[in-house]
Amino acid sequence: MSGTVQLTVTALDGIPDVEPGADLAALLIAAIERQQLAPRRHDVLVVTQKIVSKAEGRYLDLARLEPSARARQLAEITGKDARLVEAVLSQADEVLRAKRNVLIVATRAGLVIANAGIDQSNLAAQDHGRRVLLLPQDADASAERLRQRLEAHFQCDMGLLISDSAGRAWRCGTVGIAIGAAGVPSLWDRRGEQDLAGRPL
Amino acid sequence: MSGTVQLTVTALDGIPDVEPGADLAALLIAAIERQQLAPRRHDVLVVTQKIVSKAEGRYLDLARLEPSARARQLAEITGKDARLVEAVLSQADEVLRAKRNVLIVATRAGLVIANAGIDQSNLAAQDHGRRVLLLPQDADASAERLRQRLEAHFQCDMGLLISDSAGRAWRCGTVGIAIGAAGVPSLWDRRGEQDLAGRPL
């Protein structure tokens, strides 16, 4: 199979529960080495938003939030907790859709996503659901910091993506999307190239 | 690395130009065998919409189309060829957005996609751009037919996806999406399961 173009995706095992202030790069490096993986030039590490946000301590205590009039109005429309809506608005530039069970906003970072990407899934339950987790403040910067640590350790050029799960307009379910990237072009501009028949792309 | 969960994606080489009426399953099987790949149970073959549509002869000759008043009106708004718009409308249940350079419809098959997925990229140029290529009439059925042929040949349960490239609302560029599937669940319903902290999904 020499000459065959292949891409292999390997799941990284044994990432512990990540606490605020944790050295996430060190946790990732340890997991990679425990699994005896040897990153090679241009390998890309995909890290979920959840553990990046946890390491960065992006928690918000809902009990400390005072919902604005706007938040209470959107809570009425969506049926969501007004304090959660307040948290969403704190991250949002613009509300794009609000209806029963749906609140889609454009975040300050430019992402269009339900609830500004804020959720409680896989958070420890001992605070009785008072805390929510925000997206990283600047996911590209978070990716870049992790990338630099990994490159320095493994002594090779690497890429790093921060992934989140998101719904897609007009389709059911959620899929993984990249919300931050470093060392990897996030958009490949092929305008000016030609298709098989010579038509310009 | 035993116990490691991995997914390997292998590019299939040497698919020839596909003509209407071609036995696409036979072409795929030949390419797989030339590359000495041995499909195993639950391997998934991803086939581009383009060659499925070509094999199914889903060409439309724009010169034979008479644009309706609605098509001419939308051509005016979008700046697109009125005959192309007529072709799009022939595949559409509903026009969702029409503005300069943009025509997004819901197709009869339920897909929300620009120009009903109709395009000319990678079509032979000898007809001077008169022909366009439609999506398969029923991509799930096309996938199922191909899957059955591959399973019978390789004597193992396989999955088959038909992929297309599509833009995403609010994001730049295009990504691959599945427009047809067989032998693979296209949506994984995890409602009722629990997250790490025991919260119901």
Q: Tell me, what CATH number does B167's domain have?
A: 3.30.1330.100
Please state the length of chain B.
Answer: 201
Query: Residue B128 — very low, low, confident or very high, per pLDDT cuts 50/70/90?
Result: low
Whether residues B64 and B117 share a domain: the answer is: yes
Reported ipTM: the value is: 0.85
Whether residues B68 and B129 share a domain: the answer is: yes
Give the residue from chain A lying closest to B34, CA to CA: A1
Whether residues A178 and A151 share a domain: the answer is: yes
Closest approach of A172 to chain B, Cα-based (Å)? 8
Give the residue from chain A lying closest to B125, CA to CA: A197
Whether residues B104 and B127 share a domain: the answer is: yes
- What tokens were used for B112? 């929300």
Whether residues B113 and B177 share a domain: the answer is: no
What are the chain B neighbours of A166 within 8 Å (beta carbons)? none
Give the residue from chain B lying closest to A9, CA to CA: B7
Contacts by residues A123-131 (CB-CB < 8 Å, ≥ 24 positions apart): A123/B197, A124/A17, A124/B197, A125/B197, A125/B198, A125/B199, A127/A61, A130/A61, A130/A62, A130/A63, A131/A59, A131/A60, A131/A61, A131/A62
Going residue by residue through chain A, which has 201 residues, state the pLDDT in tens, using 9 for 90 and above: 456 899 999 999 989 999 999 999 999 999 999 999 999 999 999 999 999 999 999 999 999 999 999 999 999 999 999 999 999 999 999 999 999 999 999 999 889 999 999 988 888 766 667 889 999 999 999 999 999 999 999 999 999 999 999 988 888 899 999 999 999 999 999 999 998 888 888
Whether residues A151 and A121 share a domain: the answer is: no
Note the pLDDT of residue A126. 67
Average pLDDT over residues B174-192: 94
Q: Per mean pLDDT, which range of A118-132, B141-155, B175-189 is the poorest?
A: A118-132
Note the pLDDT of residue A1. 44
Note the pLDDT of residue B8. 95
Q: CB B13 to CB A1 under 8 A?
A: no
Q: Does B69 touch chain A (CB under 8 A)?
A: no
Average pLDDT over residues B101-122: 91
Whether residues A150 and A175 share a domain: the answer is: yes
CA torsion sign for A20, A23, A29, A35 is negative
Closest approach of A129 to chain B, Cα-based (Å)? 10
Query: Residue B126 — very low, low, confident or very high, per pLDDT cuts 50/70/90?
Result: low
Percent of chain B at pLDDT exceeding 90:
82
Which residues span the domain enclosing A153?
41-58+135-182
Q: CB B122 to CB A197 under 8 A?
A: yes
Whether residues A156 and A65 share a domain: the answer is: no
Q: Does A178 touch chain B (CB under 8 A)?
A: no
Note the pLDDT of residue A156. 95
Residue of B8, B106, B187 lying closest to A173 (CB–CB) = B187
Closest approach of A125 to chain B, Cα-based (Å)? 6
CA trace torsion B38, B40, B46, B47 (10° rounding): 50
Q: How many structural domains compose chain A?
A: 2
Whether residues A129 and A76 share a domain: the answer is: yes
Assigned domain for B96 exists = yes
Assigned domain for B199 exists = no
Helix (H, G, I), strand (E, B) or coil at A142: helix
Q: Tell me, what CATH number does A88's domain have?
A: 3.90.1660.10
Judged against a pLDDT cut of 60, whether residue B125 lies above it is answered with yes
Whether residues B128 and B142 share a domain: the answer is: no
What are the chain B neighbours of A120 within 8 Å (beta carbons)? 199
What are the chain B neighbours of A92 within 8 Å (beta carbons)? none
Whether residues B48 and B144 share a domain: the answer is: yes
pLDDT in tens, B51-104: 999 999 999 999 999 999 999 999 999 999 999 999 999 999 999 999 999 999
Closest approach of B67 to chain A, Cα-based (Å)? 25
Whether residues B129 and B63 share a domain: the answer is: yes
Give the residue from chain A lying closest to B9, CA to CA: A7
